[in-house]
Amino acid sequence: VRRAKGGHVLLPEETTVAIVGGGPAGAIAGAYLARAGIDNVIFEREYFPRHHVGESLVAAINAVLHEIGVLEKIDRCGYVRKRGAAWVPKSGRGRFDLQVLPDPPVGGLDYTWHVDRAHFDQVLLEHAASLGSRVEQGCVVTEPWIEEGRVVGATVRRGDEARRVRARFVLDASGRGTFLGSRLRLKQKDPLFDQFAIYGHFQGVDRGEGPAADYIHILFLPTERGWVWRIPLRDGLTSVGVVTEREDFRRDGRDPAAYFERHAHSNPELARVLKGAQLVGKLRTEGDYSYSMARLTGPGFLLVGDAARFVDPIFSSGVSVAAYSAKFATEALLGVLSGAREESEALAAYEARLTAGIAIWYDFIKIYYKLQNLFTYYVRKPDYQQELVRLLQGRVYDPSEISILDRLREDIHTIESTPGHAMQSALTDIPM
Amino acid sequence: VSSAGTLEEEIRRLIIDRLELDVAPAELSLSGHLRDDLGLDSAALLEVVAVLEEAFGVEVDLEDVTVENFRSIRTLAHYVAALRDAGEG
């Protein structure tokens, strides 16, 4: 190991796979590669633990956590066990609870978790390191290193040290920082969604009793496209986040605390459970909402997780997309590095697979915002419930299994095209 | 077979229960406007559809969810009765 004059370890000059970002996508990718004996370095900007939004997982992630051997470790962390979701109408009345369990129950666990991300992300990153990933924190990856149209590495800075790191592949797991997406001008703002979230952790929220006390609660607001997440965390903390259109926040005068307060109290049920609750820490905001990329791969690089695409978080899809994109991307890389697959074919296959999976989430989200009640109507019907549960579990990577979305689209068309239909005014202006 | 009177009352009771409406059955007029009087927004009509389907074993075609059929408890009862007759015939 080479050291600088001050004694700290110097950044490497070369690696097989340089991973930009040590969040779940980067850490899981590093773990898959390290397990296969592929040399990789994870460059993380922060020093963990660090705060991150997105606490509720979906069941499909358990299979990935199991594959990289971290499932039991996660299970011992004491996170609140998630076995379902509840939806509360804007009136506060007529809630709907739905049990959603991992299927199959990988590792014998019939639940996934609501995690505190500062802790969870650190466990994953340390796990990758324990498998052999080299983890370098406090490193800002500033520029891709491009030779003859191929990404061959990146410039990394830590303190006074700057180094060009050469890599056979650069895996961009930089999250909503979208390192390569921005530098290579691939990023496209979503034409339909410009949402915005204000959230915080609270002590003393009335979570209710029984199994649903540990469900994620999605509460609708009278504001169009407005909703709230209520996620039970360990140590009695509850994450509460108001999601609305950014334009609405702009019009409102941009006072986050007042805005949060007003919207959180616009749903009577939320107002009730928040009575007497205390904010722990500060309210935070997240903008820079939904976007996609012109492409997810190119010569020498792949995008994974939020760096590849970000969709509205209403179905808690984020961490599972990070996990599955890391899984699929590293499968492609292992094929190429072993000489079994040709690079352009393997990367194109990865891109097609991930794009199709996220497209299902996106269509589901679009339909949901078009007419929320259509979802709760079908999810109560035994014939359709199983397919909707499969979506909510995050099993979106085999499109042939998902026909319910076609049914929902047909229904929306029927409402739009039937003269005198009583529900036309319920449809939002989202184009289908 | 229930008479029209009890069908209307049953639908009224089911809607109040399912939508957790804070209203006594007697306060909810059978001919009153569901939307204007009860403040049922048009999206909540799918809840009404679900109530009818589950309680009466009928299948509501989405095309039938018209302003005409879903105006009041009374028009709903007519609609359900017609669906049942069609099912029996």
DSSP letters of A159-196?
A: TTEEEEEEEEEEEE--GGG-HHHHHTT-EEE-SS--EE
Q: Are A176 and A326 a contacting pair, CB within 8 Å?
A: no
The residue type of A120 is: F
* Beta-carbon pairs below 8 A across chains A and B: 56
Measured in degrees and rounded to the nearest 5, phi and psi for residue A229 equal: -95, 145
Chain B partners of A96 at a C-beta cutoff of 8 Å?
none
**Chain B nearest CA to A138, separation (Å):** 50
Cross-strand pairs, A136? A43
**Chain A nearest CA to B8, separation (Å):** 20
**Chain B nearest CA to A286, separation (Å):** 29
What string of DSSP letters covers A226-244?
Answer: -EEEEEE-GGGEEEEEEEE
CA distance A126 to A51: 16
pLDDT reported for residue A136? 97
pLDDT reported for residue A267? 95
pLDDT reported for residue A325? 98
Chain A interface includes B29 (CB < 8 A): no
Largest CA distance in chain A: 79
pLDDT in tens, chain A (432 residues): 566 655 567 899 999 999 999 999 999 999 999 999 999 999 999 999 999 999 999 999 999 999 999 999 999 999 999 999 999 988 888 788 999 999 889 999 999 999 999 999 999 999 999 999 999 999 999 999 999 999 999 999 999 999 999 999 999 999 999 999 999 999 999 999 888 899 999 999 999 999 999 999 999 998 888 999 999 999 999 999 999 998 888 887 778 899 999 999 999 999 999 999 999 999 999 986 799 999 999 999 999 999 999 999 999 999 999 999 999 999 999 999 999 999 999 999 999 999 999 999 999 999 998 988 888 888 888 888 989 999 999 999 976 777 899 999 999 999 999 999 999 988 988 998
Chain A interface includes B88 (CB < 8 A): no
Chain A interface includes B30 (CB < 8 A): no
What string of DSSP letters covers A31-93?
Answer: HHHHHTT--EEEEESS-SS---S--B--TTHHHHHHHTT-HHHHHTT-PEEE-EEEEE-TTS-
Contact A420 B20 (CB under 8 A): no
Do β-strands A150-158 and A96-99 pair in parallel, antiparallel, or remain unpaired? unpaired
CA distance A291 to A185: 12
Neighbouring C-beta atoms of residue B64, cutoff 10 Å = 17
CA distance B67 to B62: 12
Nearest CB partner across the interface for B43, out of A418, A420, A423: A423
- Name the residue of chain A whose CA is nearest to B70's CA: A422
Reported pTM: 0.92
**Chain B nearest CA to A415, separation (Å):** 7
pLDDT reported for residue B89? 55
User: Which residue's structure tokens are 């140590």?
Assistant: A235
- Name the residue of chain B whose CA is nearest to A375's CA: B46
Residues 352-391 of A with CB under 8 A from B: 371-374, 376-377, 380
pLDDT reported for residue B1? 47
Contact A426 B19 (CB under 8 A): no
Strand, helix or coil at B64?
Answer: helix
- ipTM of this complex: 0.86
User: Which residue's structure tokens are 């970000």?
Assistant: A310
DSSP element (H, E) containing B53: helix B45-56
